Structure 1
Amino acid sequence: MTHTAVRQANVTDLEMLTPLFDGYRQFYGRATDLDAARQFLLDRFNHGESVIFMALREGVPLGFTQLYPSFSSVSMARTFILNDLFVTEEGRRNGVASALMSAAVEFAKTVGAIRLSLSTAVTNSPAQSLYSAMGWAKDEQFFVYHLSTGA
């Protein structure tokens, strides 16, 4: 089996990341829009608003995960929201998602974050199985609420 490399992405990876990000959005029922996906990612890079890791095998992008910085006021410490995780069909069931998540965890530890948080669709049982297998615990203390601002 060929080795999968995971590394932190930068703006020069934009053309490889854009179709992955667009595929992620399509997975969640959104229409394809490569131009908007590219601009969204470019804005994150240009404003330092996220940290992205990508997985490659022989130079072919197989997946990515995107972390958004946050903070815990109660703990007075840095946290990250693991907001996006996507692996192409070719990369699934080959350890790519685990490698991406492990890179995210190591990064968070390196920069002193006390916690990573994520959410997933209640119907996404493969992802839920992965998270449990990697030691992530389902929150039993808090409910999550959303309010649309209409923007």
Structure 2
Amino acid sequence: MNIKNIHIGSLIQSKVDEHQISMERITKFLSREEGDVEKMYHEKSVDTDVLLKWSKLLKFDFFRVYTGHLILYAPHSRFDNSVKQNEKTMVFRKNIYTQEVKDFILEKIRMGKMTPYDVILRYKIPKTTLYKWMKKI
């Protein structure tokens, strides 16, 4: 899976093949013609309503792929997700690291493409978090 350049159609087709879902079931569930479904497999992006239906049918959260992309490639906010409330600042710093993101990063380290230090600098992942991931493999 390529988290940087997402081609959702091919990911959907891969999951359909993996679960061996029949075209008849897909067309009924999506209320689409077979040709429309085949076209979706070649699309780089899909409407969110349709993607939600695919997620339900295939029991896989395709939106997490995009979340993983945001964690790795979106510029970090200088506001750091803070919310002002009665002159106090509540800060929410919890990042959601999906398994796909963890696998992607650990693979880069394992293959020697990046060092742990490079990962910490590039993706702003806390050092302790990264080393916990590395310890588990």
Q: Sort the TM-score into its range (normalised by shorter chain).
A: under 0.3
Q: TM-score, normalised by structure 1?
A: 0.26
User: Structure 1 or 2: larger strand share?
Assistant: 1
